[in-house]
Structure 1
């Protein structure tokens, strides 16, 4: 099922053929540079299962993204329930992860903007957050391009204190923005 369509992208259900490129995406060191580590095949399988569970429980999740022109899987964009311990959780997060070859083409911004529109108008979401390591300038750029506003800096409780990835930024947008 296609949930969201843009001029160049389909944000859709996950299929069996997405699993192998998803594994490659999650073990790519460049793609995962702002995460504590790359994911093994087993960790990717568990992540995929949690994505499917969230769709079943919530009716939304991290949508598989394909380029309409060639039907190529390039990653995910969508919503996730963030439940780690913080003063702004639980909350609904918008996030994205695209393969390197898809970078610099505006796909993350295009897909995330359409996802927000869908979330506010079809899913009835009121508030959406996004966060990343403060050194992740490309994702911060996307957050700002889709109209999100900086709220604060915070230490991510699930990232080691001495890690350069511990310092995070929090962005927010609401239905009325």
Structure 2
């Protein structure tokens, strides 16, 4: 997938200047509320390295988001292959994570819509999935605004979250190519 520009955002591959703001974002308890743990700077750097390796191997991945007007690092939005243990694998997941100053501006939706449109235009994905902790109502609401649908029978316990952790139960949303094109 190639870089994308929306009205307010630039979605692009990662560069070294993104590492410090990504690490800061990944250490923010509010941003990471629905993740099992905050990331250390080394873990954040390793995460970016995995994203870039995924891009190189698969031709798609999570974009770094940049605000066009200011050049500020906003967060990430993009695609990643679902972990192989998932009952819905193989599939491609869309995800997002934005730094707190950029919440409630519509950036997550703007970026996600652009990524989904580009993904269906450039790849033969039959569908794209998204999932989050059942407690994360804001992300689930965005999935719904994107036209994604949930079937409660698809909900699952995330295998990378410890048993007993309230973040383990996850909801799964899907959007097919056909449903996206109908929107």
Q: TM-score range by the shorter chain?
A: over 0.9
Could you list the per-position Cα deviations for residues 49-102 of structure 1 after superposition, in whole angstroms to 9, with x for gaps in the alignment? 100000000110000001111111111000001124121112100000000110
Q: What TM-score, normalized by structure 1, do the two folds share?
A: 0.96
Query: Equivalent of 2:163, from 156, 161, 164?
Result: 161
- Secondary structure of the structure 1 residue equivalent to 2:48: helix
Equivalent positions of 1:123-162 (< 5 A) are 123-152=123-152, 153-162=155-164
Structure 1 partner of 2:20: 20
Task: Give the structure 2 partner of residue 45 of structure 1.
Answer: 45
Deviation at 1:123, TM superposition (A): 2.6
Report whether the alignment pairs 1:3 with 2:8.
no
Stretches of 4+ aligned residues off by more than 6 angstroms: none
In the alignment, the residues of structure 1 paired with residue 94 and residue 48 of structure 2 have an alpha-carbon distance, to the nearest angstrom, of: 17
Between the aligned partners of 2:60 and 2:107, the Cα distance in structure 1 is: 20
Question: Residues 6 and 114 of structure 1 are in contact (CA less than 8 Å); yes or no, is this contact kept in structure 2?
Answer: yes
Name the residue aligned to 1:113: 113
TM-score (norm 2): 0.93
Between 134-143 and 148-157, report the one with greater CA deviation: 148-157
The offset of 1:141, in angstroms, is 1.1
Would you say the 8 A contact 1:84–1:157 is kept in 2?
Answer: no
1:100 aligns with 2:100: yes
Q: Distance in 1 between matches of 2:98 and 2:2?
A: 18
**Secondary structure of 1:29's aligned partner:** coil
Q: Distance in 2 between matches of 1:54 and 1:5?
A: 21
Measure how far apart 1:151 and its partner are.
Answer: 2.4
Bigger strand fraction: 1
- Could you tell me how far apart the structure 1 residues matched to 2:18 and 2:176 are? 31
Deviation at residue 2 of structure 1 after TM alignment: 6.2
Conservation of the 8 A alpha-carbon contact between 1:84 and 1:158: no
| CA apart distance, 1:159 | 0.7
Counting matched residue pairs gives 177
